[in-house]
Amino acid sequence: DETVLLIVERWLQRQGYRVSAFSDPQVALEAFRAAPMSVDVVVTDFNMPVMSGLALAEAMTALRPGMPIVLSSGYVTQELRRDARGAGVSEVIYKEDTFDQLGALLHRLLEQKP
C-alpha cells in the first residue's frame, strides 16, 4: 500500500535511518542485486503483489546470507514464523505493532551486525 509505505518511510527517516522504499518487490530486489552491500537491513511485508515477502527474503538471502530481514504481517502464525526462518528472515512482527516495535528492533539488529 503506497500510503503505508510513505508513512513508514517518513517515520523511519525521522528516527534517523536512511531509507530506500519500494512498492514493487521486484524493483526492490533489482536494486538490492545492484548493490547488496549498501543495505544494512530489509523490512518487508508478507503479503505483496507479484512476490511474497518470504520469496523476497529468500532471494535476498541467497545473494547475501545473514543480512537482517524483518517480515511484517497482519496474521502471524507458527507456520509463518517457521517458513520465515527458513527463508532467512531474522524477525517477524505483527503489522499493527510496526510503530511500537520497529525502531527498537532495527536498532537491535543493526547493533548485532559484525
What confidence tens digit (pLDDT) does each residue in 27-38 have?
Answer: 999 999 999 999
Distance between CA atoms of residues 62 and 96, nearest Å: 29
Residue 72 buriedness (CB in 10 A; 0-12 / 13-18 / 19+): buried
Q: What is the pLDDT of residue 98?
A: 86
Q: What is the pLDDT of residue 4?
A: 87
- Examine the pLDDT at 60 and tell me if it is beyond 70: yes
- Examine the pLDDT at 18 and tell me if it is beyond 90: yes
Cα torsion at 74, 17, 104, 38 (round to 10°)? Answer: 80
Distance between CA atoms of residues 61 and 68, nearest Å: 9
What confidence tens digit (pLDDT) does each residue in 64-76 have?
Answer: 999 999 999 999 9
- Residue pair 1/32 in contact (Cβ under 8 Å)? The answer is no
